[in-house]
Structures are given as C-alpha cells and as structure tokens.
C-alpha cells in the first residue's frame, strides 16, 4: 500500500505489514529529521484516553490507594473516538463532564475462601467506546490486584484525554523504531564496532530493499539517507494505521502554525496595515 501527499516527489509511505497491534512501513523521499519527528510524535504527541483521577470509597486490600491509582492510570483504554473529546483545559466545565471525560466504576468484594483476582476488564465504563483494552472475549485484561476473603475494593475513576508528553500513561506506543541504510553505504556503522562491522552488524531484512554500493566506488561525503524502515507496536488503545495517520496530522498542524508565524514575520508591513485604524 502506497500513500503520498499531492506532491509526487514528496514523502511516501508504503505499508509492508499490518496486524492488530503493529505496523511495518517504509517512509521514503524525506529527510532523517522528518523520520525522527514522526517517531517522536507517535510516542509523545498523539492523544489517547487514560485514567487521571481515582476516588476511593473503600479499599481494604493489601495495596495502598496511591499504588493502585498508579496501576489504574497505566491501564490502556480504547481511544478510537478520542477526537470527540476535549482536553480538560479546553472544556468549559469546572471539574469533569461527558465532553472531556469518561467515568469508570469498580466494586468487587471477595466472599469466598482463597484469592479473588480483579482484572482491568471489570472496570465498568460510562461510554461504550472507551474501555480497558483486551484481545477478545476470553481475555480478562490486566491484573489490578488480588483480594482475600472479606477484602473489598470500591472506586470511581475519571479518564481524560491527554498526550504522553504530559505523562507516559497517555502513550499509544509500546515501541517505535526505524532503520536506514541497511548496507552501511553511508559508513555510519564504521564508528560503532570493535573488530568487524559485518560480523557485529549483520544485515537485516531491510537490506533486501536496497542495493549495496560498490566498495571501490567513490564515496560521497554529502550523501544523506532518504528511506527509513519503521516498525511500530501499539498498546491497543489505537489501531496502528490510525496512530501513524494521527501522528502525521499532528506534525502537519505544527508545521502549519510555524508557516503562519514565518509568513507574518516576513511581511511586517502587511501586519502593520492589518493593525492600523480604518479610514473614516
């Protein structure tokens, strides 16, 4: 699958593999800085939903409130409709509302002998589109805590929209990495070996995508990589293809704001005319 913006000579994305929680794609016709910006954006600037506030009505388990609240915050939540929610700072409510948050309740008491395991899928959501991530009806999710007979947990949680730049719990990624120049044609690996580059840096599968340069050919010291091989794994809060799309959209919005600022800076006379008092 290929994708590109209107410019045929601009960046292109070719998807090589796609499944439920990972995507493998090739980003070409672009600069290393763009590839790294995309990687960082996927990790830290794509919004998701995560539990941000926890109210404890009862907790007689072995886990203290703060420890359990932290575990709840790190539970991945399905965030396919995250664009429908407002950030807390942009909402007009005083605390939280359905426009900027989703409520969860968890009330479990162990009444039998032995141990009662409490799972993340037992959190009851007020919004069917935002719930703890699971891999199917047989998957109970993440273990939150274990209760002995007589112990009880009764909590109320508030999930809000955010980005991992504020806290890692909002990150949609488990891992993001990219490779370039698999044949070491640019000789970057020559700085990072002890005895043999080829033995210590074996070729990856991405080497099949490119041709190896003739070792006797003239070396271009100004050459730069233009093709990057990405592998992205998600935590399940977003589909892999949605994550890549949303990351490119965030980058475009940031660059759009930068372009407007540069245009204003280069046209001070036009700005002065806009700010001038109208003729009477």
For the chain, how big is the Rg over CA atoms in Å? 25
Sign of dihedral through CA atoms 86, 91, 97, 101? positive
Range(s) of the chain covered by CATH 2.170.120.12: 48-165
User: Taking 60 as the threshold, does the pLDDT of residue 280 lie above it?
Assistant: no
In this prediction, residue 88 carries a pLDDT of 93
Tokens of 162: 């955010």
pLDDT band at 2 (very low <50, low <70, confident <90, very high): low
In this prediction, residue 1 carries a pLDDT of 45
In this prediction, residue 104 carries a pLDDT of 98
User: Taking 50 as the threshold, does the pLDDT of residue 279 lie above it?
Assistant: no
How do residues 69-125 score in pLDDT, each as one tens digit?
Answer: 999 999 999 999 999 999 999 999 999 999 999 999 999 999 999 999 999 999 999
In this prediction, residue 196 carries a pLDDT of 80
Cα–Cα dist 222/217, whole Å? 15
How do residues 186-204 score in pLDDT, each as one tens digit?
Answer: 877 777 777 887 787 888 8
* Strands of the 124-125 sheet, one edge to the other: 48-59, 152-162, 101-109, 124-125
Angle between helices 268-275 and 240-266 (to 10 degrees): 80
Please tell me the pTM assigned to this model.
Answer: 0.83
To the question of domain 48-165 being in CATH 2.170.120.12, the answer is yes
Range(s) of the chain covered by CATH 3.30.1360.10: 2-45+173-266
Cα–Cα dist 228/195, whole Å? 27
Q: Is 25 exposed, middle or buried (0-12, 13-18, 19+ CB in 10 A)?
A: buried
User: Taking 90 as the threshold, does the pLDDT of residue 185 lie above it?
Assistant: no
What is the CATH code for 2-45+173-266?
3.30.1360.10
- Backbone dihedral angles phi then psi of residue 248, each to the nearest 5 degrees: -65, -35
User: Taking 50 as the threshold, does the pLDDT of residue 245 lie above it?
Assistant: yes
**CA separation (Å) from 42 to 49, 77, 154?**
15, 17, 35
82, 88, 56: which is closest to 70 by C-alpha? Answer: 56
pLDDT band at 31 (very low <50, low <70, confident <90, very high): very high
Bridge partner list, 77:
132
273, 207, 243, 255: which is closest to 15 by C-alpha? Answer: 243
pLDDT band at 271 (very low <50, low <70, confident <90, very high): low
User: Taking 50 as the threshold, does the pLDDT of residue 137 lie above it?
Assistant: yes
How do residues 52-74 score in pLDDT, each as one tens digit?
Answer: 999 999 999 999 999 999 999 99
């Amino acid at each position: 699958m290929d994708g590109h913006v209107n410019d045929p000579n601009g960046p292109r994305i070719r998807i090589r593999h796609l499944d439920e929680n990972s995507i493998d794609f090739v980003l070409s016709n672009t600069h290393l800085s763009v590839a790294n910006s995309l990687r960082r954006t996927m990790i830290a600037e794509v919004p998701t939903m995560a539990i941000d506030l926890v109210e404890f009505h009862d907790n007689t388990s072995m886990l203290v409130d703060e420890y359990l609240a932290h575990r709840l915050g790190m539970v991945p939540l399905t965030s396919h409709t995250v664009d429908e929610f407002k950030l807390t700072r942009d909402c007009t409510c005083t605390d939280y509302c359905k426009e900027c948050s989703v409520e969860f309740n968890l009330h479990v008491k162990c009444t039998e002998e032995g141990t009662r395991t409490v799972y993340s899928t037992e959190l009851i959501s007020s919004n069917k589109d935002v719930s703890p991530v699971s891999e199917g009806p047989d998957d109970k999710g993440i273990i939150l805590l274990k209760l002995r007979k007589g112990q009880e947990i009764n909590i109320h949680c508030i999930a809000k929209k955010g980005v991992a730049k504020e806290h890692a719990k909002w990150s949609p990624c488990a891992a993001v990495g990219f490779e370039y120049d698999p044949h070491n044609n640019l000789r970057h690996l020559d700085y990072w070996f002890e005895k043999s580059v080829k033995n210590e840096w074996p070729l990856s599968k991405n080497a099949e995508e490119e041709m190896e340069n003739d070792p006797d050919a003239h070396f271009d010291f100004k050459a730069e990589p233009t093709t990057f091989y990405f592998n992205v794994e998600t935590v399940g809060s977003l589909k892999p293809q949605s994550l890549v799309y949303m990351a490119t959209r965030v980058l475009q919005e940031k660059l759009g704001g930068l372009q407007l600022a540069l245009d204003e800076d280069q046209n001070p006379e036009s700005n002065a005319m806009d700010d001038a008092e109208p003729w009477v």
